[in-house]
Structure 1
Amino acid sequence: MAATSRPKLLAGRKVLLLADFQFEDLELMYPKMRLEEEGAEVSVMGAHPAGIKYTGKYGYPVKSDLCVDNMSTTDAVASYDALLIPGGFAPDYMRRNQAMLDLTVAMADAGRVVASICHGPWMLCSARRTDGSPLAKGIRATCFSACKDDLINAGAQRWWTASSCRAGGPFITARTPADLTPFLHAIIDEMAK
């Protein structure tokens, strides 16, 4: 039986996927493959020179396409429809990089989808708007249980245990790799609008 083709829901859309060492393998690779399957162009961006190979917690490698220092936030907002932040230990490195924090703020303030899973919402706690408030302030969010206090202290609404995936405004958050299916459904649905 011949395979039938179906429309690519994200054809022509572009996603920036942040990476650093010790990312959660499934939380980077599954979204990358699933978004590409829907027709999106996914670019891996890190804090190190383009072409570097980042290794996940369980040894899966991913090569970066871009370095955050080589793209202005204006260009990123003009060129990309979404920003995806996987979990693992990588977000702890990412949130120490001001260019990555500035990129996260710019994408959110422009109304682009900002999706983060597991420890990824740490970026929403550390990224600050010009008034000094964290991106997490006032948003509905969920995360890995070890990060909940950071989200609460950053002013996020206390929804962290209520759902596997929370969406509100440009933000989509999820708890763990077990939540990847609803997480990706929410991202695809939002980007396809």
Structure 2
Amino acid sequence: MAAKKLLMIVGDYGEDYEIMVPFQALQMVGHTVHAVCPGKQEGDSIKTAIHDFEGDQTYSEKPGHNFTLNATFDNIDPADYDALVLSGGRAPEYLRREEGVLDMIRHFVEGDKPIAAVCHGLQLLSAANAVEGKTLTAYPACGPEMQAAGADYKDVAATEVVVDGNLVTSPAWPGHPKWLAAFLDVLGTEISP
């Protein structure tokens, strides 16, 4: 397996697990992962939030970690990357208003490059007009938005994954095992026992 170069677009109050876990796990198997945020530089940090499912009508939110960016958004050329990772949390609700973010996402979509998106990260794909005709999942509260944008939205358990070609989606961080395994499969990553 050739190591891949992956781009991860993150922002303040992105979901802690959905940033930290893929960032570390994808590096663990040999891929290079660059995490960037508009308006921030390499070495800057973002604040994350931990979203938990505690029996309420929606998730609860608690302070997460400070996550240090390892690349600068303004220096990124998406053509240098093999795949894209989009985490959830609250960050996508404002990142989707950044034209530079949407342009980067469109590069991956138009090039049919692998994209892994989880939870509210699908809001970024929707804002980039990249979900029409796609079979996908997202956090259930984003389901109506995905349907309105023309996606074939699947309401699956939080532990599940939906794959449509190079697009790998899961409703939330409990789906990490299947979501990351499916993404590694799409990337062609082979892990030997």
Normalised by the length of structure 1, the TM-score is: 0.85
8 Å contact kept, 1:68–1:100: no
**Counterpart residue number, 1:101:** 102
SS at match of 1:150: helix
Q: Over the residues paired in the alignment, what is the CA RMSD in angstroms?
A: 1.6
Among candidates 152, 160, 167, match of residue 155 of structure 2: 160
Q: Secondary structure at the match of 1:119?
A: helix
Gaps of 5+ in 2: 50-62
- In the alignment, the residues of structure 2 paired with residue 97 and residue 67 of structure 1 have an alpha-carbon distance, to the nearest angstrom, of 15
Equivalent residue, structure 2, for 1:4: none
Partner of 1:68: 73
- Describe the SS at the equivalent of 1:66: coil
Identity among equivalent positions (%) equals 28
Does the alignment pair 1:45 with 2:36?
Answer: yes
Query: Counterparts of 2:155 and 2:73 in 1: how far apart (Å)?
Result: 29
**Higher relative strand content:** 2
| Aligned-residue offset at 1:162 | 7.1
Matches within 5 A, 1:1-193: 9=1, 11-50=2-41, 51-57=43-49, 58-71=63-76, 75-77=77-79, 79-127=80-128, 134-161=129-156, 164-192=160-188
Structure 1, residues 48-94: CA drift from partner, whole Å, max 9, x if none?
A: 221221010132111122333333xxx312x1111101001011121
Equivalenced residue count is: 174
Distance in 2 of aligned mates of 1:111 and 1:119: 21
Q: Aligned letter for 1:83?
A: L
Q: Helix, strand or coil: the match of 1:147? A: helix
Gaps in structure 1 of 5+ consecutive residues: 1-8, 128-133
**Would the aligned equivalents of 2:137 and 2:154 in 1 still touch at CA under 8 Å?**
yes
